[in-house]
Amino acid sequence: MTRLDRRDFLKGCAVAAIAGGSSSRALAYFGPPDVAPATATDDTLVIVFLRGAMDGLSLLPPGASSPYRAAYEAARNSTRIPTTGTGAALSLNGTQWALHPRATGLRTLFNQNHLAFVVAAGQSQPIPVIRSHFDAQANLEFGFGGGTGNEIGWLTRHLASGGLPAVVPLPATSLGNITASSLLGSSDAITMNSASDFRIDGFHWSWDEDDAGAGLVGAVSRMHALWNGSATQLEAAGVETLASLDLLRPINFGLYNATSNPGGYQPSGGADYSLASNQDFGNQLRNVAQLIKTNLGMRVATIDLGGWDTHVGQGNPANTYDYFGNQVESLSKGLSAFYTDLASSASGNLMQKTSVIVVSEFGRRVQENADGGTDHGYGNVMMALGASVNGGQVYGTFPGLDNANLYQGTDVAVTTDYRRIISEALIRRMANPNIYYVFPGYSGYTPMGIFQGADLPPTNFDTLFASGFD
């Protein structure tokens, strides 16, 4: 494999973005100088953000024998997930919880001990709780536990402090139209709506097509002719950009088709990403799996699945119209295909070194509204997926659904800070103990036992930069 310095790779990518007429919101931040960080593992952390505030009580409702079931049914009618009859919830053996009936893939992963849920999870914030999508998403992704910080994402601080080796071609990627805020400020991350978009198409034919007989010269070849010197910084940056493009150029990110794309990507183990009703989500998960298999050193990936802001017509599985169920099916089938693909890889079970954390900005009110939906709430459900996850369990302390136990009389309270869950993944799976640097203001971390791996004493990385960035 061509070996590129990871800083040069991403610096080149920035020039490629300019050449392609696109723009980036990312700042160039290289981390605190003169600090010897920890040595990273070669694991990959995938963050799936359910934007819009997913209703955790509909994804993971109380089961028939749960002490919370009566209060749940009293608060919900049109959005209720039944435990019997049409649209009955899927039981989770050994727990007081059930799953939305369209989450069959998630239940299989749970029963195989690869998936764990955390109830009453979210942002531990001072009163008043922020119920704005924009502000809550910013708070969560900047990792300051209240306040939007200074537009440097927590994943950026992880990459800066996590001890990555000097040579990593592709440390981080953000799948979507814009860079995830958790990666803002990173010079290690590239953003693409799909992996096949990482190309230069400013010519009248394919960017990598050369046909001497027809007199055609592809964009890449032309760019090599234009950028072949090192006399100036611009020339050097152009050469670095082409080296980056050369690295990704041979990869066919299109899906295999015996007729139209015989060199395309074939998911392992019969994984079918097209089963996810949200095709963008399925395709992006497939791209992440392919990048992990390609062994470019990717340590972090972010993917968004939006559409969870269900104020009106949320639906329920007992009725013909089930909007929320459509969302759940996309999530469930997409993650199931992703796990199958990587676990069945010819290189071995790559899910042993891949951890997925699913999070949303906040939950929704316990009491449904008059429009057949649910309004902005507080505590929610998080998920952890991987072969190195101690799955088949529901973690966290659930405070209850009776009025006396609800936060401000309306919401599920937060008893587990989301940063605690992520910090455990960073320490046990990524070998980065610098969690108080990644999450400024966070303290008192103790593991919950969700992830397998060695515990390291949590640290601040460097006291000179305890406040984050200057």
* Segments making up each domain of the chain, as ranges: 1-25+203-252, 31-194+272-465
Contacts of 194 (CB under 8 A, 6+ apart): 175, 253, 280, 283, 284, 287
Report how far residue 136's alpha carbon sits from residue 134's, in angstroms, rounded to the nearest whole number.
6
Measuring CA to CA, which residue among 429, 465, 452 is closest to residue 160? 465
Give the percent of the chain with pLDDT over 90.
65
Mean pLDDT for the chain overall: 85
pLDDT of residue 427 exceeding 50, the answer is: yes
Backbone angles phi, psi at 389, to 5 degrees: -100, 135
Indicate the range of 130-139, 248-257, 265-274, 346-355 predicted with least confidence: 248-257
Q: 6: pLDDT confidence band, cut at 50, 70 and 90? A: very low
Q: pTM value? A: 0.86
pLDDT of residue 226: 67
Q: Which fold has domain 31-194+272-465?
A: Alkaline Phosphatase, subunit A (3.40.720)
Q: 288: pLDDT confidence band, cut at 50, 70 and 90? A: very high
Indicate the range of 205-209, 226-230, 250-254 predicted with least confidence: 205-209
**Mean pLDDT on 164-176:** 85
pLDDT of residue 151: 76
Q: 165: pLDDT confidence band, cut at 50, 70 and 90? A: confident
Quick check: helix, strand or coil at residue 81?
Answer: coil
Q: Of the spans 30-39, 208-217, 456-465, which averages the highest pLDDT?
A: 456-465
**Mean pLDDT on 251-267:** 93
Report how far residue 345's alpha carbon sits from residue 30's, in angstroms, rounded to the nearest whole number.
34
Measuring CA to CA, which residue among 175, 173, 181 is closest to residue 133? 181
Backbone angles phi, psi at 189, to 5 degrees: -110, 140
Amino acid of residue 464: L
Quick check: helix, strand or coil at residue 417?
Answer: strand
pLDDT tens digits, 8-31 = 443 344 333 333 333 232 333 444
